[in-house]
Copies of this chain bind each other. A is one copy, B any other.
């Protein structure tokens, strides 16, 4: 009767995907850096086959460029691309939120809030940046799910994995945390009140503001 957690056997490919994704997002592997199959295989104690499959998958996520016979490199995002990605997110996500708000149940709001609490705790405890961004997307996803747009949500998540490394930069270096916390709280409140207009507008600004401070940061980095 009890819901059995049906023993999940992670394939080696999945392990490699997760390891590489984390290394790229964390900046451990830099943009443009070539990814040698044998090196990765050795490092993770697998053969090259799962490494190759992982690279194909990561290319689809946009984290890797895979050129036949040349090899794979980690992608790097330029300032223009950051702007593009975030503007696209702003458009799609505010649309999602608008569609979601009328469908949000009390339970959804409670769930979202509990994720938010965990996120704030993670900020306070200065846990790993990785867990910040995971909880962050969990929070947003909770709100969007009620829109009943699974495919759109997938697209958004795809865009997010691309933005992630920059969001991490922002949180780490621009002191964006208090602002983000405040905005999240207000956003949740607006959702609770079903104020579609204000909520979507806040979300837009939230995303575009982040884009702005990131582009400034990236420009600085390029100069230095």
Contact = CB atoms under 8 A, between A and B. Distances in A.
Interface in A41-97: 49, 52-53, 56-57, 59-62, 68-69, 80-81, 84-85, 88, 91-92, 95
Copies of this polypeptide in the complex? 2
A178 to B, nearest CB: 30
A11 interface: yes
Contact of A152 (B62, B84, B148): B84
A151 interface: yes
B85 A151 contact: yes
A155 interface: yes
A103 to B, nearest CB: 14
A182 interface: no
Contact of A56 (B53, B84, B152): B53
Interface in A4-35: 9-11, 13-14
Contacts of A9: 68-69
Nearest to A96: B88
A36 interface: no
A53 B61 CA distance: 15
A57 B149 CA distance: 23
A144 to B, nearest CB: 13
Interface of A: 9-11, 13-14, 49, 52-53, 56-57, 59-62, 68-69, 80-81, 84-85, 88, 91-92, 95, 148-152, 155, 158-159, 162
* 10 cross-chain pairs, A with B, having the tightest CB-CB distances, nearest first: A60-B60, A56-B56, A11-B68, A88-B152, A53-B56, A84-B151, A84-B149, A56-B57, A85-B151, A53-B53
